[in-house]
Amino acid sequence: MRIQKYISQSGVCSRREAERKIEDGSVIVNGKPAQIGQSVDPDTDVVEVDGIRLKGPVAERVVLAMNKPKGCVCTNSDPFGARTVFEILPEPYSKMKLFCCGRLDKNTEGLLILTNDGEFANKLTHPSSGIVKRYRALLNRDFDGALIPVLTRGVVCDGEKLHAERILRDNTPGVSDSARRVEVWLHQGRKREIRRMFEAVGYFVKELKRYQIGKYVLRGLASGACKPLGKAEIAKLMEK
């Protein structure tokens, strides 16, 4: 079994995060630094990640949906003392080794998926899966619709090309400032992509919320709350 697959099935992190840990030298196999792609035998090889020996693939998959509140970070710890999403998990999930399927930045709220299944996380987050993540954004001023084709073609920010799959007017009933509200669809999920994309064309994102992944829509979940997803709900996450 490939080392990154073994790490993800052990409930440590996704395969992409496992690759980053291997590159950082945080993964040791039989006392030696691991290499991306090397094979391991779960029955005979000793694999350590961040100094902790892995016990092998997790027996039970857990998939949670959280309504992430603004002000929380999606890391296990923050050097600046910000509260993490793992600190607000209720028992028994607070005692499990879970990780985020993609991240939302500190000031973004809404639908966040946490799991202990690295293979599932990789399928959900990898751009090749074609799974759309939908967001609602409030801008600092009225949005010029002529910029929609610019943003869907892509803009370059800090040497990186950023683009949206679709941008629509946010026609959610009852919202105020509708001229400043847009809906953004993404396949990929680069760091602060929506905020950086709009900044590149002269806007500032004041509020940002992810409300849907695949066909699964965030409904009826209070800010900061979470719930386990069943098979039908997990299937909706994976629908294109």
Neighbours of 39 (CB within 10 A): 11
Only one residue has tokens 């961040």, namely: 50
* Letter string b/e over residues 226-236, b meaning 16 or more CB atoms within 10 A of that residue's CB: beebeeeebee
Bridge partners (DSSP) of residue 186 are: 133
Q: Is position 105 annotated as part of the catalytic site?
A: yes
Query: Using CA atoms, how far apart are residues 170 and 224, in angstroms rounded to an integer?
Result: 24
Pairing of strands 99-100, 63-68: unpaired
Name the CA radius of gyration of the chain, rounded.
19
Under 8 Å between Cβ of 14 and 122 = yes
- The backbone region for 17, taken as left when phi is positive above 0, alpha when psi lies in -120 to 50, beta otherwise, is alpha
Instruction: Report residue 185 as tokens.
Output: 């669809």
Measured CA to CA in angstroms, residue 20 lies from 7, 23, 62, 63, 125 at distances of 12, 5, 23, 23, 15
Tell me how far the alpha carbon of residue 240 is from its chain's centroid. Answer: 17
The active-site residue out of 41, 105, 170, 177 is 105
Active site residues: 105
